Chains A and B, each alone.
Chain A
Amino acid sequence: MPETITVTELNTRVKELFLKTPAINDVWVSGEISGLRKYPSGYYFVLKDATSEIHAVMFNSARMRIDFEPQENMKVRAFGSIGMYVPRGTYQFIVEVMQKSGLGDRYIAFEALKKKLGEEGLFDESHKRKLPPYPKKIGVVTSQSGAVIHDIIMTSASRYTADIILAPAKVQGDGAAESIVDGIRILNKADVDVIIVGRGGGSIEDLWAFNEEIVARAIYNSRVPVVSAVGHETDFTIADFVADARAPTPTGAAALILRDKAEIDAEMDALSTRLQRAMQSQMRSERHAFEILDSKLDLRSAMEGLDMHAMHLDDLMRTAEHRISSMLSDMKGRYNAVDLGLRPSRALEDMEALGERVEVSLERIRVRTSSTLENRRAILEGIQDRPDRAISKGLQDLDSRMAADSKMLDGLNPLNVLNRGYSMITSEDGKVLTSIDDIEVDDSVRIHMRDGTADAEIRKKEKRT
């Protein structure tokens, strides 16, 4: 009966076999570094050539012996042995010494293409198109199964509303570049406003399609602005250089293209406030202009003129009275002197009668003058009153109309209500339902909440009495 061994035993045997096989110990291997990760214990990477690859590790002890920093895509010669890691049953190449053997082929190709396209002007700032601030349709060229389209759909949900049209494309491996080019062409035909071309992260090999010349040219020739979103924070692809804008991730691309809804809301509120303020200050200055006009209006100065006339008249009358009475006393004196004996009482009477007549005339003049003044004042005041009243009433009307308008506008905004935690129910055709009489059992209705809608059917209804 054949012996049965444990997994550990098997792997240990493989390890021993490896150790005893000179062909895989102390050998020089040439290849390209890929997927380089740096850990405290050492560098982990994949050594690869055109047709094969092997996991490799260079522990710190070995790293001390080299005078360069290993880089992604670097072509190297590495000296070491195959080691078996028993707990996982995996083997890797354990590097003891490493030499640079020139730059990787891909790197050279990348640099050459970058230089060529740069000289042709494909990266020129002047060719970069501005992204539309409020696009209606966003085209996305990416894989239909990856996280990219998912991330874009999720991120854009809370942003300015736009349709998303996916042109499914192969984003890595054979034919990926052609597939991406096709997607860009189709979306241009479909009249989208902006295109995102992207994929999730990956090694530089995985991203290679985005370094292909045909992809670069398709982006450059796209009628619609293109945003590149090749999920790689540090490495740029040729597509990033040609694109009108570059986002580090697909989520970043969606955020770059669509403005945050809350931000637009805040902007709208600010505009509303500015509108109200401007209108109010416009009305204040309008009122002020009336006041200036009013003060300039001849009414007041006319009034002052009248007052002056009145004073002058008073003055004249006082002078006249004074003169007449001094004339009278003068005459009285003369009569007395001429003939005291000559019917003195009669003369005195005559004088007194004369004096009374003068008094009466003076009184009449006074009355007439002041009544004229009063009349004119009343007329003037009447004139002044009327436009004042009309204008201030007009302004008041406007004020209250504006206040009512803005109140109504804010009240009408259903979001304000929904944001406070209420829900709104509409019929299937969007009519708001406010009464139990509006619905029947089995009706389909839609519930609108702050962050979405739900469809429901009425099972039972009961009218409150």
Chain B
Amino acid sequence: MSGYEEEVEQMSFEESIKTLEELVKELEAGGLDLDKSIEIYEKAVILRNHCRKILDESERKIQKIMESSGQLKTEDFEVD
């Protein structure tokens, strides 16, 4: 399952929550054997943790962008 963890680590929030939703739906539909159910459940937990991490940990940057002679230049922007 660590392989899946690495895979999820690269996923965006949008992708993760979409995949999580799909897995929950698959599990809700039922008709899976026990091994498959457990596999899906474990994947779903990894995705959920990843989503929570993104929500809880991300910090934003507030910047100002300008162009001088074709080059983009950004600097931190402070609101007065």
Contact = CB atoms under 8 A, between A and B. Distances in A.
Interface residues of B, number: 39
A268 interface: yes
Interface of A: 132-134, 136, 139, 144-145, 149-150, 153, 156, 160-168, 182, 186-187, 189-190, 261, 264-265, 267-268, 271-272, 274-275, 277-279, 281-283, 285-286, 398, 402, 405, 409, 412-415
A162 B12 CA distance: 13
B72 A186 contact: yes
B79 interface: yes
Contacts of B2: none
B58 interface: yes
Contacts of B59: 161
B55 A261 contact: yes
B65 A271 contact: no
A275 B26 CA distance: 10
Task: State the 9 A-B residue pairs at the shortest beta-carbon distance, nearest first.
Answer: A278-B27, A161-B58, A278-B28, A163-B61, A282-B37, A134-B14, A166-B64, A134-B13, A164-B62
Contact of A144 (B14, B24, B30, B64): B64
Contact of B52 (A132, A145, A413): A413
Contacts of A261: 55
B21 interface: yes
Given A274-B24, A275-B41, 18 more contacts: A134-B13, A134-B14, A156-B60, A163-B61, A163-B63, A165-B65, A165-B74, A166-B64, A166-B65, A190-B65, A268-B48, A268-B51, A271-B17, A271-B24, A275-B48, A278-B30, A409-B48, A414-B56
Given A150-B79, A271-B24, A278-B24, A133 B62 contact: no
B8 interface: no
B31 to A, nearest CB: 9
Interface of B: 12-14, 17, 20-21, 23-24, 27-28, 30, 32, 34, 37-38, 41, 44-45, 48-49, 51-52, 55-56, 58-67, 72, 74, 77, 79-80
Contacts of B61: 163-164
A275 B72 contact: no
Contacts of A275: 20, 23-24, 27, 41, 44-45, 48
Given A261-B55, A405-B45, A413-B56, A164 B63 contact: yes
Nearest to B63: A165
Contacts of A409: 45, 48-49
Contacts of A283: 34, 37
A277 B77 CA distance: 46
Contacts of A277: 28
A162 B60 contact: yes
Contacts of A163: 60-63
Given A132-B14, A162-B60, A186-B67, A145 B30 contact: no
A271 B20 contact: yes
Contact of A164 (B48, B55, B56, B60): B60
A136 B14 CA distance: 10
Contact of A279 (B37, B58, B66, B77): B37
